[in-house]
Amino acid sequence: MKAKKRKYSFGAIGKRLSHYLKDKKHVIFFVALALIASTIFAIFAPVVTKDVTDSIADSISKNTDIDFSYIGQQLIILAALYILSAGFAYYATMRTTYLSQLAIKRLRADIQEKLNKLTLNVLDQSERGDLLSRVTNDATTLSGALESNLTQILVQATSIIGIIVMMLVLNVQLSLIFFIAIPLSYFVMKLITKKTQVLFRRQQQELGALNGLIEEVYDGHLIVKSFNHEAKSAQKFDDINQRFFKSYLSSRFYSGLSAPLMKLINNLAYIGICVVGGIFVITGTLTIGGIQAFLIYANNIASPTALISNNLNFIQSGAAAAERIFEFLDREEEQADVGTAVLDVANAKGSIEFNNVEFGYIPERTLFHDVSLKAEPGEILAVVGPSGAGKTTLVNLLMRFYEINHGNILLEGLDVKELTRHNLRSAFGMVLQDTWLFDGTIEENIAYGKSGATREDVIAAAKKAQCDEFIKKLPLGYETRIGGDFTTLSEGECQLLAIARTIIADPKVLILDEATSSVDTRTEILITQAMEAMMKGRTTFIIAHRLFTIKNADKIIFMMEGDIKEVGSHAELMKLGGLYANLYLSASDN
Ligand SMILES: Nc1ncnc2c1ncn2[C@@H]1O[C@H](COP(=O)(O)OP(=O)(O)OP(=O)(O)O)[C@@H](O)[C@H]1O
């Protein structure tokens, strides 16, 4: 996998992140003050030790008594300076942690909101694992980078500035020797950063791919096993795992170079100072305390520089993560609801019209050219046709999961575009082939269809959906946990629960995707009865597979290549002797 070049600079990432802390400028201001205060207190400490050393050296050279009371006083000042510096540094660290976690919390909220706003087209075209990796891993990486590493960098950067100022005050010539090291360090760091930026990005990409594969194999573990593809999946996993391992190691190889190189450059500068400083002391241009203080500064500057270069690696992986999150946040969103019409869902009858609808999932390929269709309230419409004919698309458009290009779709005489999606979708109930049940009790799963549903509502819906009987036989009855890791129900039972969940919602229009998988005869009878109870008095679109359902529908809509080819009752279409009649006859023969 080739890593793309960065789209966002550090500055752009910082700017976008700072947007999340717009209302916390005062906290940022106090953090900056605390950092400066902590640095000032810390960098004055060597000045105090300088005075102590000079005082002792003076006494020795003049053969006078050492002034212990002065030294004691200075040592108390020294302790106070260190305590104050540590106190302010602690405050700054705590507040930076607060700020970075707040920014991440807000960013996560944006990510969550974005997930609900993404167009289905974007979701269809995204790899789920990669998407989830952006939401989870990348957010965590960024959070770690911001919290510990950014704080460290801020603390260390301010102390570097402070130390440089103090060095200049102490001795300009010695400072110049030391400062030669700075552009050198900068150059080395820049070289390493350039290399590692790309590597860190690749590392996050490989992690996303790894998660994608784990998710894919976990979701489809039955299929993987049934096709004996375990070995192939394991091989694919090994390949990606190996690539992740390699990209991790190579990013760490380069990033690991930076700290020792910085230290080496610093040590060389340190030697230079010792030599030249020694000459200055001998010639009397610098006191012993002065050179001691200077060496403390030179030593002190080495550790923040190494820390910064170390932390920069984490900041870089944080930047790569931030970039992936921003890419996600910039993806296409559903058009905002602009319509002002309101559907009175409670009193709606369920009439539907498609008028000259044109639609394509991708601009280059129109699927529906000119689809028109009318459903009267309470009618059952069986949508049939070969695979890929556009049956699912028809119901997707009805619920406005995708936007049409031309024409209109009316529900109760109102253009679905003029309604809010929430208002529109509250008129619909869906039972799909893949029954989705969440991790919770049976009662919670049925009650999901109606907010504020009582136990009585749940039992009434379960009775209509023919599932009360089997639920009562379970040791924990309605309290039985299902979904997630607890799924112990049969496929047929899950379908019955999904029907109960739709019945409780009492929708005006039903969309049923008839299951193709076979269940035992008794369950099939139960499902048929439950479906019939559910369809009573509601306009129903069934993507039908069973001849029994199709024959009993009020209207059959025969679709092919994105167009409605025939519409009519079973008897009418048989009489017509067209495409439907052919399909029916060949299916009956089989
Ligand atoms: N999200 C999508 N993005 C792009 N093309 C799509 C998308 N969903 C479906 N299609 C294409 O649109 C066409 C119609 O698909 P649709 O799912 O509506 O058919 P269908 O009649 O329901 O088929 P099946 O009986 O196999 O479920 C197919 O060619 C399909 O490949």
Complete DSSP assignment for 321-353: HHHHHHHHHTS-BPPPP-------GGG----EE
Opening angle at CA 114, ends 110 and 115, nearest 5: 120
526 Cα to the center of ligand 1, angstroms: 30
353 Cα to the center of ligand 1, angstroms: 21
361 Cα to the center of ligand 1, angstroms: 9
Cα–Cα distance for residue pair 323/328, rounded to 1 Å = 9
Cα–Cα distance for residue pair 241/245, rounded to 1 Å = 6
> Whose C-alpha lies nearest to ligand 1, atom 17?
392
Q: Which residues pair with 408 in a beta bridge?
A: 355
Question: Which of 120, 391, 397 should be mutated for ligand 1, with most atoms under 8 A from CB?
Answer: 391
Tokens of 225: 């096993």
> Whose C-alpha lies nearest to ligand 1, atom 30?
388
Measured CA to CA in angstroms, residue 536 lies from 380, 433, 459, 464, 474 at distances of: 9, 20, 19, 11, 29
Which residues of the chain does CATH 3.40.50.300 include? Answer: 345-589
> Whose C-alpha lies nearest to ligand 1, atom 9?
393
Cα 105 from chain centre = 12
> Whose C-alpha lies nearest to ligand 1, atom 26?
387
Cα–Cα distance for residue pair 318/153, rounded to 1 Å = 14
559 Cα to the center of ligand 1, angstroms: 12
**pLDDT for the residue 40:** 87
Cα–Cα distance for residue pair 89/31, rounded to 1 Å = 9
Cα–Cα distance for residue pair 561/533, rounded to 1 Å = 33
Atom number, ligand 1, closest to the C-alpha of residue 389 = 21
393 Cα to the center of ligand 1, angstroms: 6
Task: Tell me which residues have their CB closer than 6 angstroms to ligand 1.
Answer: 124, 361-362, 367, 385, 387-393
* 249: Cβ contacts below 8 Å, ≥ 6 apart: none
Cβ atoms within 10 Å of 506's Cβ, excluding its own: 16
DSSP 21: G
Short-list 439, 480, 478, CA closest to 457: 478
Which residues of the chain does CATH 1.20.1560.10 include? Answer: 10-329
Atom number, ligand 1, closest to the C-alpha of residue 562 = 14
Atom number, ligand 1, closest to the C-alpha of residue 121 = 1
Cβ atoms within 10 Å of 177's Cβ, excluding its own: 18
Tokens of 91: 């405050």
Cα–Cα distance for residue pair 309/300, rounded to 1 Å = 15
Short-list 383, 339, 433, 358, CA closest to 539: 383
Q: Which CATH number fits domain 10-329: 1.10.3720.10, 3.40.50.300, 1.20.1560.10, 1.10.287.3510?
A: 1.20.1560.10
* 43: Cβ contacts below 8 Å, ≥ 6 apart: 159, 162, 163, 165, 166, 297
Q: Which fold has domain 345-589?
A: Rossmann fold (3.40.50)
**pLDDT for the residue 5:** 53
401 Cα to the center of ligand 1, angstroms: 13
123 Cα to the center of ligand 1, angstroms: 15
Is-contact 129 51, C-beta < 8 A? Answer: no
394 Cα to the center of ligand 1, angstroms: 10
Pairing state between β 428-431 and 509-513: parallel
**pLDDT for the residue 1:** 44
* ipTM associated with this complex: 0.95
- What tens-digit pLDDT sequence spans the chain (590 residues)? 444 455 677 788 888 888 898 999 899 899 889 988 988 898 888 888 888 888 888 888 888 888 888 889 999 999 999 999 999 989 988 898 888 889 888 988 898 888 878 777 777 766 767 777 777 888 888 888 887 667 777 777 888 888 888 888 888 888 888 778 777 877 887 888 788 878 888 888 888 888 888 877 777 666 666 666 777 878 888 898 898 898 888 888 888 887 788 778 878 888 888 888 888 888 888 888 888 888 888 877 766 666 676 677 777 778 888 888 898 888 877 777 777 888 887 888 889 999 999 999 888 888 999 999 999 999 999 999 888 889 989 988 988 888 899 999 999 999 999 988 888 888 888 888 777 788 888 999 899 888 888 999 999 999 988 889 889 988 889 988 887 655 578 888 888 888 899 989 888 899 988 766 666 777 778 888 888 888 888 999 998 887 777 888 899 999 998 889 999 999 999 999 888 898 888 877 66
36 Cα to the center of ligand 1, angstroms: 62
Tokens of 231: 């070995």
> Whose C-alpha lies nearest to ligand 1, atom 29?
388
Cα–Cα distance for residue pair 266/251, rounded to 1 Å = 24
The owner of tokens 């690539």 is 243
Cα–Cα distance for residue pair 508/534, rounded to 1 Å = 11
Cβ atoms within 10 Å of 251's Cβ, excluding its own: 23
